[in-house]
Chain A
Amino acid sequence: MKVTRRDLLVWSAGATAGLLFTPVPWKLLDDVSIWSQNWPWIPQPTRGPVDVKLSFCTLCPNGCGMRVRMAGGWPVGVAGAGCHPVSRGALCPLGFAAHQLNWHPRRLSRVCYRGNTSSWGEARVAFTKACGEGPIMIIDGHPGRAASSAFETFVQRRGSYRVVPGQETRALAPYGTWSGIPAAALGYDLENAGTIVSFGAPLLDGWGTPGRLTRLWAERAAGLADPQLHLIQVEPSFSRTAARAWQYVTIRAGGEGAVAEGVARVLLEEHLVPARGPMPSLTLVEVAEQAGVSTDAIRDLARTIVARPPVVAVADDNNPAIAALNVVLGAVGARGGIVRRSKHIRQDVCAEAAIRGMRAVLIDSTVPWDFVPQTDAEVFRFAAWDGGSTKADWLLPAPGFLEDLTDVPTAPTSGMETYAVAPSLAEAPTEVQSAAQFLSSIDPTLVTVDKVIHTRCSEIFRQRMGTLWGQDVTPVAKFVSVQKLEEELWKGAVWIGEPHHAGGLRCQLNDWPEAIGPARTSNASPPWLVPVLPSLASKLYQESGLRESPEGRSA
């Protein structure tokens, strides 16, 4: 029997008809649609039990309280922790995607020596050799932590310890110089202020502990015709804070100090305040000339700010003229002004960019990347993310966000002393080591971070001062054992010291201080303190145009 072409066609017709009465086309259609709804190459979140843990943001020294949602043992979401008395449940935009930073493409995961892959062993040998050959310097970005303690102990006979203060701490430096009290022990008592005059400080845009002022402003000023809190912004550009301030005074760039002088002169000449500070050297006409505002505007400003006391002026950076204005205003060592928040803080020595006479310099991962040492010493730089600097001889991968146990000392601008413990919540990559761990591996007798934390907890317990803010607010005196106190702190509670010592701060000033260098000129947005931004910041920069992209900090 010969198979003809016609047979084939008829057979196919039969097969096709038959196929329609089988599940093949219908089932395949269904399966293909399910497959296409769940493409295998689309990443799938992992499953697992969900849990919420309290911790603290360690990206900058402010240490805002965080509620971290964990799924399957990994942080999957971050929100503000309302029980934190300083940050009060708010975070800056970065915080909300901070848990994604650990997977950032610029995450450092191996030891690099001058651009080539090296190992921890070799780094250890090089650092040990350097320690034997000459003095070393350790530079810290978040002073006052347990790790800082370990650094200081390490350099005791080996060299020196320096810090890189943030802008907010630098702004407090003049009071430190005039009063002899370390700037790190000072803060602002903004909660009790009636008027805040900001000279270019981005008060509503990430200044200090971001949530502190925004919450305060929202409760006492936002949208009110006669607010309880007068927020006055003196700034060259129409910033986010200027847009929302109660009053905005536009000035020429760099004219902040001159305006402060002018306001002080009006206050003293018109006897709006008791005579307690030096008379400024500039005349009102000179001020108007330098700041690009009319003399009338300066008079108005002076009269406005004293309308609702207490008044405090906030500088954006180290600006003695603004500090002197606070002296004239009587805001130093007063309620609602600059206060001394803690008794026992040592004076830290600030790091200079030019470092001489050192055999090696170790830079902790908390130091911002814009600090680039100019030195011929061997530089060991710890960093979790590559911030783009090539000045370091050794680039050592440090733990990222929530990957390392640390404690959180008082935030730079806070008016009250706080202490908290941020345990590690995420598993760090194996190649990662913190500076404190590295130093411990060189000097096994060096005190470890958890030991220092334990000592500090014991100290808090021994003094029986302050309160612990967690799920409840408990006075330390109510705790029966240090273990119990430590347990609470490890679970995310915050210790608050006794109320500030407003009277403990006095600034004597006979002559109006001389201006030091121009203040930061560009103040459209404060710079972020982390070397890289969460990739999601692309929403803010390129997809919305809400913020101008910071240069060299690609999202």
Chain B
Amino acid sequence: MARTPLVFGLGLAVALLVGWVAFPRVLYVQRHQPLEFRHKTHAEKSGIVQCSECHAFRDDGTFAGIPSIAICTACHSERIGTTNAEATLVENYIKPGQETPWLVYARQPANVWFPHAVHVQRAALECRECHSPYGESDEVRIYQLNRVSGYSRDIWGPSISRLRRAPHEGMKMSDCEDCHRRRNVEVGCIGCHQ
């Protein structure tokens, strides 16, 4: 058998292996959320149906994002469970009145202006169309931090190749553009950048 193609193929194989398997593991560093928060449990136990009951809009149309500790305190002012997470929540955050340092999966760079009000309240998009049905799950996802860009893996999407991804996967500018093009909504730079 010819030696050259073999060596070439070996190099090729090593590169493919490194690029597809090792690279994503090296690029992203895994971070755990400060608390074991379960969306499903909360929905079932407290009868919350709408995302906006906790992830609320303020009067001026701004979106509050992850709820502040005050909303947690409404029910958890004292421990109401026996888990470790419950103890951490009450002792570390609620009692000292400190905000929980959540890692925000969908955090965009500072020059991006994403108005939730325009998309949700005016255009009536569902939360899950961008955020996946995460609100129905009963697990805390691991936050994957991109070592180079400093942003969450959710921005790029779980698939490193970005091929065959679900509509809610990925939050890059091209994803915004694709959706806008599909819905025939035209915005200029100023529409999304600040």
Contact = CB atoms under 8 A, between A and B. Distances in A.
Q: In the complex they form, do A and B come into direct contact, defined as C-beta atoms under 8 angstroms apart?
A: yes
Interface of A: 6-7, 10-19, 21-24, 27-28, 30-32, 34-35, 37-38, 40, 44-45, 49-50
B96 to A, nearest CB: 17
B62 A38 contact: no
Contact of A14 (B12, B18, B156): B12
Given A31-B149, A34-B149, A38-B111, A14 B11 contact: yes
A44 B107 CA distance: 14
Contacts of A40: 150
Contact of B8 (A14, A37, A50): A14
B189 to A, nearest CB: 13
Nearest to A20: B15
B2 to A, nearest CB: 11
B187 interface: no
A207 B109 CA distance: 44
Chain A interface helix/strand/loop/mixed = helix
Contacts of B23: 22-24, 27
A21 B19 CA distance: 8
A44 B148 contact: no
Given A37-B109, A49-B58, A12 B148 contact: no
B64 interface: yes
A13 B24 CA distance: 23
B151 interface: yes
A13 B58 contact: no
Contacts of B64: 49
B113 interface: no
Interface string B1-38: 00110011111111110111001100100000000000
Contact of B62 (A7, A10, A49): A49
Given A38-B111, A49-B64, A7 B19 contact: no
Interface residues of B, number: 33
A441 B8 CA distance: 83
A27 B155 CA distance: 12
Given A23-B161, A38-B150, 7 more contacts: A11-B7, A18-B15, A21-B16, A21-B19, A23-B160, A35-B148, A38-B109
Contact of B12 (A15, A37, A50): A15
A33 to B, nearest CB: 9
Given A35-B149, A37-B111, A11 B156 contact: no
Contacts of B15: 14-19, 21-22
A14 B10 contact: yes
Contact of A24 (B3, B7, B19, B149): B19
B16 A38 contact: no
B110 interface: yes
A38 B148 CA distance: 11
Contacts of A38: 109-111, 149-150
A49 B149 CA distance: 26
B18 A44 contact: no
A219 to B, nearest CB: 32
B73 interface: no
B146 interface: yes
Contacts of A30: 149, 156
B60 interface: yes
A93 B149 CA distance: 39
B150 A11 contact: no
B174 to A, nearest CB: 10
Interface string B145-159: 010111100001000
A30 B148 CA distance: 10
A10 B7 contact: yes
Contacts of A13: 8, 11
Contacts of A10: 4, 7-8, 11
A22 B8 contact: no
Given A22-B15, A44-B110, A27 B58 contact: no
